[in-house]
Structure 1
């Protein structure tokens, strides 16, 4: 009897025990499941954050790549500009060098001209001094020697050279003309212009029409005397008359008229020497 009564009790205990074990295991599994869900949720959140960060990083990389491309383009542009600048600068240096050479050549030419002018001025002063010293005090009263703008002017009074109203050379003029001719012959590289001048009083002679004729005839007389009597090369001589139209004093007084009645001997360097100097202006020897 006792055995029959105990058997159901044992079976009941076994079932309850088994039921208790299953609930415990279930709770444990449920806890693990919940923990896994939580971990999964956190992993999803972390993945989303990572994706966002990755997207931001990619955007920054793209921006940096664009900046690099822009910088490379700017660098290329700057290099091109630099090359052009250098090319232009080199051309500028060439132009500056040419200009400097031209300035140097011009400076040399100017110095050369200054040297020639100084030399010419010195020769003119020597010529003037030699002629002035050769004249006697009486002759010097009728001869005026000046240097104006590189040209020597020897002005001879008409009362010493000619008879009144005439173009014939007076015998008393021989001494002065001889001294002038010596200076002219000593300076053989100079040309000589003989220029006649009169006052404004009309001439009254049948063989002389006016003061133009008188001034030209007087200049011609001096030229022929220098050539025939004093052996001056006629190729160096020129005769010209200016009549009454080149006065140096007022014709309203006897003194003024006397000063205007004159014959000038103008001694100048040869014209072809000046033309040659102009033509060879840029051929000044180096080092001058």
Structure 2
């Protein structure tokens, strides 16, 4: 009986040992799987942390560039306000003679009516008009980083026949007048010719209706459109 009990006990022990070994192997396997999973998650977290650090660095870099951009824009705006004030002061003698200086959308506009500049149908600048254009040129010479578009405008009266050597239409007349202004500005050695552009817009950008004589007079004009060079701004914008 004792031997039988001993055999039963041994069998139970063997079974228990087998179960324990199987449980231990299962636990070891599970632990290895958990460790592998943990290692994979740690690698993923490290990769995410690297990505987050890069995003933070990029954000800091972009923020710095944005601050630089805002400063440049503020400086450009202040410079254009100062330019407008300088032009207004220089051209004060021509107030009430068909000349206005305004600022909008970051640009300065100097508008001169044809009564100040040209005889009817002519693109030869008169003495008084040349004085005004020379004053604009003097200011431009002191501001070499300003691009200038000179636009010629007419009313909608059709050109009939030959005028002063031949003008085909209002496009032609407005272009010749704009070019005449560029020629005067270019005579100033301090004015950079590469900053000047002459354009004729004919009758197609009126200020007022051409139904009245007053409207036509306002529409016959030369406009100087002064714009700060934006190369630096464009470069920063591309880097953002």
Corresponding residue for 1:57? Answer: 13
Match status 1:175 vs 2:135: no
Aligned match for 1:216, one of 168, 172, 175: 175
Aligned match for 2:151, one of 176, 185, 195: 195
Aligned counterparts of 1:110 and 1:178: Cα–Cα separation in 2: 39
Match status 1:157 vs 2:113: yes
Alignment partner of 1:264: what SS?
strand
Contact kept in structure 2, 1:109 and 1:282, CA below 8 Å: no
Contact kept in structure 1, 2:137 and 2:188, CA below 8 Å: no
1:222 Cα offset (Å): 0.6
User: What is the aligned residue count?
Assistant: 237
TM value normalised by structure 1: 0.73
User: What is the root-mean-square deviation in Å for CA atoms of aligned residues?
Assistant: 2.5
Aligned match for 1:107, one of 50, 63, 70: 63
Corresponding residue for 1:248? Answer: 207
Aligned counterparts of 2:197 and 2:189: Cα–Cα separation in 1: 16
Contact kept in structure 2, 1:106 and 1:282, CA below 8 Å: no
1:120 Cα offset (Å): 0.6
Higher RCO, 1 or 2 (CA under 8 Å, sep at least 6)?
2
Compare the two structures and name the one with the higher helix fraction: 1
1:1-288 correspondence runs (5 A): 44=1, 46-136=2-92, 138-206=94-162, 207-228=166-187, 232-270=191-229, 274=231, 277-279=233-235
1:265 Cα offset (Å): 0.8
Larger Rg, first or second structure (1 or 2): 1
1:221 Cα offset (Å): 0.7
Contact kept in structure 2, 1:192 and 1:268, CA below 8 Å: yes
- After superposition, the C-alpha distances for 1:2-33 in whole angstroms (9 at most, x for unaligned) are xxxxxxxxxxxxxxxxxxxxxxxxxxxxxxxx
1:258 Cα offset (Å): 2.7
Change (3 A) 1:236 1:51: same
1:282 Cα offset (Å): 8.0
1:279 Cα offset (Å): 4.2
Contact kept in structure 2, 1:105 and 1:282, CA below 8 Å: no
Contact kept in structure 1, 2:154 and 2:203, CA below 8 Å: yes
TM value normalised by structure 2: 0.86
- After superposition, the C-alpha distances for 1:83-137 in whole angstroms (9 at most, x for unaligned) are 1222222222222222222221111111111111110100100010111123336
Aligned counterparts of 1:255 and 1:190: Cα–Cα separation in 2: 32
For structure 2, list consecutive stretches of 5 or more residues without a partner in the other structure.
none
Aligned counterparts of 1:114 and 1:277: Cα–Cα separation in 2: 9
Aligned counterparts of 1:252 and 1:133: Cα–Cα separation in 2: 34
1:252 Cα offset (Å): 3.2
The farther-off stretch of 114-123 and 150-159 is 150-159
For structure 1, list consecutive stretches of 5 or more residues without a partner in the other structure.
1-43
Aligned counterparts of 1:62 and 1:154: Cα–Cα separation in 2: 101
